Amino acid sequence: RGGPAAPASGAAPADPTALPVVAPAATEGGKPAAAAPAGTAAGGAGDAAAGTRTKESRETGAVASDAYWYYLMSGGISYAFLIIAVQLLSRASELGTSFWVSYWADETLRFPLTTDATYFLNMYALIGCVGVLFITMRACFIAECRVRASYILHERLLRHVVRGPAAWFDDTPVGRILNRFAGDMEKVDEQLPPTISQLLGTLVSVVGSIIAIAITSNGILLIALVPLLFFYYRVQHWFRRSSTELQRVESVTRSPIFVAFDSTLDGLSSIRAYN
């Protein structure tokens, strides 16, 4: 009496040193819930405190037409129409000089004694001066459009960066932001306007040449242009895809250089101390 109770027959005696076993909490369906990894609380508080940096992404495929439209709207749609109109008039003046010389030659052959060379020469010079005037106007309109677009795009980019949340600055390196203001804006300011101007000039020249060929040959030579247009379309399609992707890769790989440069400036005192 007063001693420990004897265990039931067939039952193993309890081990006093054994730790209590806690069964895992069951979820829906009776399956145990997965244990949270060490260093986390409430499903990932440790990751939030770590502040991981996001990887810089880039677009794929062809450039959307909205990007070009956004640039034209930033530069002013009125300037865009003026540039196109002046470009057409400039090309028309160039074709006008060619047709005027042809007309001059025909009149000289028909009336060699009564043809006034001074009149034809003055008209030729006048058409040439008008063409130079249109080219000058186009250059002025393009310069005004590119300055306006550069100012508006830079102002909008700066406003969005300044108004960005603090979490965005934690995830985005400073070098990536500098790359947007330095590398990308440099392309918008220096490379995009001349490229658009060259594209517009080439397009108007090609269309004008096709019209001149159609007039002089009564449309016979237009048949040979069909396979040529298809060939040039395939070539430019292949080149544009590869060139666009290379430009994107070059823009993305430039960000680590700015990051390293920014880190070097921050640790310049330490570098000088150990140099």
Question: Could you state, in order of their start, the residue ranges of all structural domains in the chain?
Answer: 65-240
- Strand-pairing partners, residue 26, are 32
pLDDT at residue number 130: 92
CA distance 96 to 220: 22
pLDDT at residue number 11: 41
Consecutive H or E run containing 49: helix 45-50
CB contact at 8 A, 185 and 157: yes
CATH fold of the domain at 65-240? ABC transporter transmembrane region fold (1.20.1560)
Q: Which amino acid, one-letter code, is at 43? A: G
> Helices 65-75 and 77-110: crossing angle, nearest 10°?
90
CA distance 4 to 10: 17
Q: How many CB atoms lie within 10 A of CB 127?
A: 19
CB contact at 8 A, 46 and 40: yes
> In the numeric block, which tokens belong to residue 105?
């030659």
Closest CA to 95 of 119, 147, 130: 130
Tell me which DSSP letter residue 32 carries: B
Per-residue pLDDT of the chain (275 residues; tens, 9 = 90+): 444 444 444 444 444 334 343 333 443 444 343 333 333 333 333 333 334 567 776 777 777 778 888 888 888 888 889 988 998 898 888 888 888 888 888 888 887 767 778 888 899 999 989 989 998 998 899 888 888 998 999 999 899 888 988 888 888 878 788 888 888 888 888 888 888 888 888 888 888 788 877 877 777 777 878 888 888 888 888 888 888 888 888 777 777 777 777 777 777 787 777 76
Judging by beta carbons within 10 Å of its beta carbon (0-12, 13-18, 19+), is residue 262 exposed, middle or buried? middle
The model's pTM is 0.62
Read off the pLDDT of residues 216-265 as tens digits, 9 standing for 90 and up. 777 777 787 888 888 888 888 888 888 888 888 877 777 777 777 777 77
